[in-house]
Amino acid sequence: MRPRSATPRKITDLMIKVISSLSALIGIFFLAWILFEVIQRGIAAINWEFFTTLPTPPGIPGGGLANAILGTLIITAIATIIGVPAGIFAGVYLSEFGRYGRFGAFVRFSVNVIMGIPSIIIGLFVYTILVKSVGHFSGFAGAVSLAVIMLPVVARTTEDMLTLVPNELRESALALGSPRWKVTLGVVFRAAKAGMLTGVLLAVARISGETAPLLFTALNSPFWPEALDQPMANLTVTIFNYAMSPFADWQQKAWGASLLIMVAVLFLTITARVGIRSAKR
């Protein structure tokens, strides 16, 4: 039997490598372009006033976005307090108790569906439940909408990290007489803590740039955040409003806020990547 020529396979392999390399270079090019544009346009807006003062009325230069920065931190913190524990408990159930059961499969399917739902749909859902029912926008409603977005990310990451823990660790602890809950919290969690923290960071990075849910829930405010049951200033909605305005000063501040969010997301993403590598090791 005459052997087949390896030339077609080599040509195919070379074409795939070339196409993959070009695709990667295109992605890197646009990423670098975005970074360059945001830094170039936003760095001029970054000063002490930007972080310490309230925004000025329309058409008046000056002021800052201190209220939006503080509001974003508050909303993100509350969303983390709500979404992270729920996501961790869901991930623990999927990994430790419902890995092979029908209900576990249903929960896993539901988590995947929630992860794929557009954020604007989640914002509309929370608007119907927490905004329309009480008659006004609120920072708490914004935090709940972001928590719903965080939950499936944390749940899937927690499940994946706990699944990577060898069963021998669980069996050894159970053989010593430890109850299942203590094994999970004291042994499995310690072995997977780096990966679980990485999941939390990825979830925070995921919600940092969300605008649509906050348009339906927290809306915006030109004042300092004072109560969770009132509209609350935040960076993403501020960027939307300022970028669409006809005022050059507001547009520049929108670029500055974009730069601030971009730096935060890059920091969280890089930290999460480092955490993933250490968790795999």
CATH code of residue 176: 1.10.3720.10
Q: Is residue 227 part of a domain?
A: yes
pLDDT tens digits, one per residue of 48-91: 999 999 998 888 888 899 999 999 999 999 999 999 999 999 99
CA 63 vs CA 66, 92, 234, 243: distances in Å:
9, 47, 16, 16
Residues 198, 66 share a domain? yes
Please state the φ and ψ torsions of residue 231, each to the nearest 5 degrees.
-55, 140
pLDDT at res. 78? 95
Residues 141, 16 share a domain? no
Report the chain's mean pLDDT, rounded to a whole number: 89
pLDDT of 1 over the 60 cut: no
Q: How far apart are CA 256 and CA 246, in angstroms?
A: 16
Task: Give mean pLDDT, residues 132-154.
Answer: 94
Q: Is residue 89 part of a domain?
A: yes
Note down the domain range covering 135.
Answer: 48-280
Residues 219, 84 share a domain? yes
Residues 156, 41 share a domain? no
Residues 87, 24 share a domain? no
pTM, two decimal places: 0.88
- Measure CA 24 to chain center: 23
3-state DSSP call for residue 259?
Answer: helix
Q: Is residue 2 part of a domain?
A: no
| Domains of the chain: total | 2
Cβ–Cβ under 8 Å, residues 134 and 144 = no
pLDDT of 45 over the 80 cut: yes
Phi-psi region of 41 (alpha: psi -120 to 50; beta: other; left: phi over 0): alpha
pLDDT of 121 over the 70 cut: yes
For the record, the structure tokens of 74 come out as: 């508050």
Mean pLDDT lowest for which of 2-6, 104-108, 109-113, 206-210?
Answer: 2-6
Look at the alpha carbons of 103, 106, 112, 113 in this order and tell me if their dihedral is positive or negative. Answer: negative
Residues 131, 185 share a domain? yes
- Measure CA 70 to chain center: 18
Residues 62, 33 share a domain? no
